[in-house]
Structure 1
Amino acid sequence: MVPLAAPTASLQRALEPDPGPEELSVLWPLLVQLGWFLLGLSAVVLIGRLLVQPVLTRAVRRRNRNNPTLQAAVVLYFRLFVVVVGALVGVAVAGYGAFLDDSALVISAVALAVGIAAREVIGSLVSGIALVLDPEFNVGDHIRWSNGEGVVQSIAFRFTRVETNDGELVTIPNTILTAHEIVRPYGRGNLRIVQELGVDYADDLDEALARLTDVARETDGILADPPPSAYVDELGDDAVSIRVRYWVADPTRRDVFAVRSAYAKAAKDRLEAGGITVSPAAEHELTGRIALDDASLRD
């Protein structure tokens, strides 16, 4: 008896029955649920991208024109948020809302674990949102905080970059800026500047005060109202300490340095022209005896 050859793969596929209505009826509910999920996800994503995102982008750009880093971060986080919300809506529309209700405890536990593990990151994000919403904190501001000072270059949700007076770029976590006081010395109205110098005790103090006040009135950048003033501050060991007080309107740090330098130079020239000694050298009278240890010098 001759054995029969095994059927080939093509012959097996030909012998297999085509999927009929019964097989399709089993898959149909799954296809319907998948369609509803994609429909819910797509609807939320489209609404977020086409309607909400342009409004949000314009608002952020209007509030932070000089901060493209923040604008890009807002768009990125918003898109992630829209995708997550769209996925939840899709699951609910597909008929799996009961699954979310049953898993609420598990989801809460996972969220708690993630929150504990990422508490520093979340704290920085919350602090970043607070800085973004603060109308008095902007890119280009000169700020002074507990560990230094400089000009704000960019504001992100987690950190802020500041260029220091030495030209270094410092990345500061937002939690530090929101937990401590921030001083904005420049660009917030009139700034009062106080400069100190010393004159000799033998000089005429009234003449020195009058000359210092006149120089302040004549220096470019110094306001006439409020008027500048000079007064004796302290009687030191070697000189009389004088303070000069004047105001500069809406200055930047560079403006302040320029005005201080111009005033100091003009004040020095004016005082020396009147025979007034600026910052006299310290003099100390020494008394006592000198002992010689070399025997040859005693002979």
Structure 2
Amino acid sequence: MSSTLPPSTVSTHVPTTVTLQNIVPIDFATLLPSVELRLVASVLTIAAIVTIWALGARLHDVDTEGFSSALWHLTVTLFRLVGVVFGGAFLFLIWSSSGDIATLSQQYGLGTDTLVQIGLSAAFLAGAYVVTTVLGRLIKEVASTRPEISDHQREIIFRLAQVSTYLVAFVVILGVWQADLGGILVGAGFLGIVVGMAARQTLGALIAGFVLMFSRPFEIGDWVEVGNHEGIVTDITVVNTRIQTFDGEYVMIPNDVVSSESLVNRSRKGRLRLDIEVGVDYEADLDHAASVAQEAVEELDETLSVPQPQIVAKRFDDSAVVLGVRPWIDRPTARRKWQTQTAVIGAVRDAFEEEDITIPFPQRELSSRDQSGPIPLTEEPSRGTPETNGRSGASDGGDR
């Protein structure tokens, strides 16, 4: 009895490769066989990405009632990123189906690890963009509810957060590419020392700019006096401060100079006291002159009634007793100051004229211990001058 054994079979393992054509059900090589068609599809895809990006920018400005603003901005940002990611993937599929990307990978030696590193780097950059966008919106919302935070302070906080986020993303990407972080940090340290030595004045102005941003001694539109410069603040940057003087000149002052010079802010309190001097005769009644001046100032529309104007005796001058007229003005500007000062001088002068209070001219009286009364500044002319007597003598001699 013979039995036939089934033929022995040898099992062999054939490696299989997974390609994009196996994953994606669409055969782009058949659908887009020519380079022209792939270019047209690429242009349309890029146009769709730009449209999604612009639409997302408009959606950020939509007023959402009953919905968290931060969550809305995060959703819109993710929507824009998803559109960009899908658009980029679609472009990759279009050109990978033709074998162009594979050819480039083999030509430049880009293996699987390199492609993964590129993908992770792009993902970290996209994540950094999302974080900075959300942080910018949150900072803007918080600053809008806090009036003590100015626009410049909000901008500085956002820029610091943005730089910090991208710096962290950059360090992580260097780690993905297995770069020598120690060597890079040492080189960056030496570079920082060299740059700091070469540009210490600029760095000093930069640091002083940050100090001014957060200490807020003045804001844009304030009337300030910095050293010998006086005017209206038109711009504040991290490096310098720009002032427009009352002569129409623009002065750019480095922030380190601003922080080291004496600073006077005349707009800080919202009101300003003027000090106008007027002299009255020594024989005048000071109390009466002060009350007349105060009544004249209180009737003006340019001055504040609260606090009340003050009239004080300041000093003994050569020809008069000097009174200080001190009215207050609100929302101080240079124009309001000069208008008020002109109105006060005119009102006090008219009031003194009505009350026969003399504002004396400068005068000086000379006296001597050996002579009573004032000293004459000129002598009376004599009956004959030497020139006359000489001429008469000469004429007499001629007659002789």
SS at match of 1:90: helix
**Greater RCO structure (CA 8 Å; 6+ sep):** 1
Q: What count of residue pairs does the alignment treat as equivalent?
A: 274
Which whole-Å CA distance do the structure 2 matches of 1:212 and 1:119 have between them?
Answer: 56
1:117 maps to 2:198: yes
What whole-Å deviation, never above 9, does each CA across 1:49-99 have from its counterpart, x for those lacking one? x2123334556677335x6xx887877776666544432221112332xx0
1:52 maps to 2:138: no
Residues 318, 364 of structure 2: 8 Å contact kept:
no
**Cα distance 1:189–1:31, how it changes in 2: closer, same or farther (>3 A)?**
closer
What whole-Å deviation, never above 9, does each CA across 1:29-64 have from its counterpart, x for those lacking one? 33333333333233223322x212333455667733
Residues 234, 241 of structure 1: 8 Å contact kept:
yes
Q: Determine which of 160, 169, 173 is the counterpart of 1:90.
A: 173
Residues 36, 94 of structure 1: 8 Å contact kept:
no
Which whole-Å CA distance do the structure 2 matches of 1:296 and 1:133 have between them?
Answer: 83
1:258 maps to 2:344: no
Residues 319, 364 of structure 2: 8 Å contact kept:
yes
Determine the structure 1 residue equivalent to 2:299: 218
1:163 maps to 2:244: yes
Which stretch of structure 1 is more off in the superposition, 276-285 or 154-163?
276-285
What whole-Å deviation, never above 9, does each CA across 1:187-229 have from its counterpart, x for those lacking one? 5054332211112234343332221121122122333344333
Determine the structure 2 residue equivalent to 1:175: 256
What whole-Å deviation, never above 9, does each CA across 1:90-120 have from its counterpart, x for those lacking one? 1112332xx0124432221112112222222
- Note the 1:182-261 alignment, pairs <5 A: 182-261=263-342
Which whole-Å CA distance do the structure 2 matches of 1:264 and 1:133 have between them?
Answer: 41
**Structure 2 gap segments, 5+ residues each:** 1-101, 367-374, 391-400
1:36 alignment partner AA: L
**Structure 1 gap segments, 5+ residues each:** 1-17
Determine the structure 2 residue equivalent to 1:64: 150
**Cα distance 1:174–1:279, how it changes in 2: closer, same or farther (>3 A)?**
farther
% identical aligned pairs: 25
1:296 maps to 2:387: yes
- Pairwise CA distance, 1:273: 2.0
Which whole-Å CA distance do the structure 1 matches of 2:363 and 2:142 have between them?
Answer: 61
Q: Determine which of 104, 114, 117 is the counterpart of 1:33.
A: 117
Cα RMSD after superposing both structures = 3.5
Which stretch of structure 1 is more off in the superposition, 233-242 or 202-211?
202-211
**Cα distance 1:297–1:35, how it changes in 2: closer, same or farther (>3 A)?**
farther
Which whole-Å CA distance do the structure 2 matches of 1:126 and 1:298 have between them?
Answer: 86
TM-score normalised by L of structure 1: 0.76
Which whole-Å CA distance do the structure 1 matches of 2:350 and 2:191 have between them?
Answer: 73
Which whole-Å CA distance do the structure 1 matches of 2:294 and 2:108 have between them?
Answer: 97
Which stretch of structure 1 is more off in the superposition, 195-204 or 26-35?
26-35
1:276 maps to 2:276: no
1:87 alignment partner AA: F
1:243 alignment partner AA: G
